[in-house]
A and B are shown apart, each in its own frame.
Chain A
Amino acid sequence: MHPGIIFLGVVVGSVLFHIFTPWWWTDIASNWGAMDDTINLTFWIGGGVFILVCLFMVYCIFMFSYKEGRKVEYKPEDHKLEKILTIATTVGVIALLAPGLIVYNNYINTPKNALQVEVNAWQWGWQYRLPGEDGILGTAQVAKITDDNPFGINLDDPNGKDDILIEDDVLHLKTDRPVKILLRSLDVLHNYYVPQFRAKMDAIPGIITYYWFEPNKIGEYEVLCAEYCGVGHYAMRAKVIVESEGNYENWIKEQETFSDLIAKQESNESKLTLVAKSND
């Protein structure tokens, strides 16, 4: 069999695989449809180039396989052709890059009305902090984390008092409201990634990173850690529940704020001292 046929088969097979593949995007559940669009654009242009190049190659090996005394072209350079190819490639590259940069510009500029959510990542789990009624998260430092202050909130920061603390890996989000995810890591690198939302960013100890998206489909989504973070990496899951505004408000009312936590601890302490005293 002529090798050209097999190479042709590889190209045709790749195209067919792409057409009939059962493996494709998960249904998008956020505003980042534009990312899918840029990927599709890249797919069409890139796929087209792949097919053209490979078909041309297959054509060449069919037409010009070895024959004693075949007349071979001797043409070391062809400036015109090279120029055309350079320009065509440059145009193609610009066509891919420009939309990508526009989407990226949206990605790094968070809308003003975005709800802030701080995700705390550690080996190997997640917890969350939401701003209270003031809409502002209090400052916090990893070094200040204690058993009594699981998020390391600066005690002298008034903004932190009403922060809502969720010591659980399930996060609820309102549908159709942009969310700015602030990522804080207590130990190593992590990445808060929900495939359906498309967006992702690493959590790095030592700085705060962010990204934003707007969930627009009610449902439950699995969170995966997408940056290798040690042996438990593959098991580092969490859950995001996107729900209607009403359900969300009900959920948030049940959550504990930082001042609740402090109050509870103080009453515990006073109970303890009472017990201690009564034992005297």
Chain B
Amino acid sequence: MDEIQKKKQATSTHKLGVYLWIWGLLFVLSFFSYLVDWFQFQGLLRHSLILIFMFLKAGLIMAFFMHLYWERYALVSVLLWPMTAVVGFIVLMAAEAKYTVFTRLLYFFIGG
């Protein structure tokens, strides 16, 4: 245990610069995503920009602030694989939502 802790300390103590860098990056990225709204980008551009900045921020927080970058792959993969279930759920629910709004518009408003 001691060894492990020492190892941990060794990696932790070196990283002040890294933390500050990530911290700065997060501010910049947040500012960028704010600018997406400020300039009122619309449509695909808006959504893809929002997603890109979001995933970058999330990735930075997870990788460095939550130390995932330094964790062993066993832990990382156990944490990330279940996300496929969430992704599947999102895709299917997006399709379901589209279908719902389609029938609502068709039978409640448009007709034919």
Residues of A with Cβ closer than 8 Å to B? 136-141, 154, 157, 159, 182, 184, 206-209
Residues of B with Cβ closer than 8 Å to A? 100, 103-104, 106-112
Measured CB to CB, the closest approach of chain B to A258, in angstroms, equals 14
Q: From A136, A139, A140, A208, name the one whose CB has the most chain B CB atoms within 10 angstroms.
A: A139
A141 contacts across to B, CB distance below 8 A:
108
Task: Compute how far the CA of A181 lies from the CA of B47 in the bound complex, rounded to whole angstroms.
Answer: 39
Q: Is the interface of A mostly helix, strand, loop or mixed?
A: loop
A140 contacts across to B, CB distance below 8 A:
107-108
- When C-beta atoms are compared, the residue in chain A nearest to B111 turns out to be A139
Measured CB to CB, the closest approach of chain B to A132, in angstroms, equals 13
Measured CB to CB, the closest approach of chain B to A48, in angstroms, equals 34
Across chains A and B, the number of contacting residue pairs, with CB separation under 8 Å, is 30
Task: Compute how far the CA of A207 lies from the CA of B112 in the bound complex, rounded to whole angstroms.
Answer: 16
Measured CB to CB, the closest approach of chain A to B105, in angstroms, equals 10
Measured CB to CB, the closest approach of chain B to A179, in angstroms, equals 17
Task: Compute how far the CA of A209 lies from the CA of B103 in the bound complex, rounded to whole angstroms.
Answer: 8
A139 contacts across to B, CB distance below 8 A:
107-111
B108 contacts across to A, CB distance below 8 A:
139-141
Cβ–Cβ contact A159 & B111, under 8 A: yes
A159 contacts across to B, CB distance below 8 A:
111-112
Cβ–Cβ contact A137 & B111, under 8 A: yes
Shortest 10 CB-CB contacts between residues of A and residues of B? A139-B111, A208-B107, A207-B103, A141-B108, A208-B103, A207-B100, A159-B111, A157-B111, A139-B108, A139-B109
Task: Compute how far the CA of A252 lies from the CA of B107 in the bound complex, rounded to whole angstroms.
Answer: 23
Cβ–Cβ contact B112 & A136, under 8 A: yes
Task: Compute how far the CA of A184 lies from the CA of B106 in the bound complex, rounded to whole angstroms.
Answer: 13
A206 contacts across to B, CB distance below 8 A:
100, 104
B104 contacts across to A, CB distance below 8 A:
206-208
Cβ–Cβ contact A182 & B107, under 8 A: yes
Task: Compute how far the CA of A157 lies from the CA of B112 in the bound complex, rounded to whole angstroms.
Answer: 10
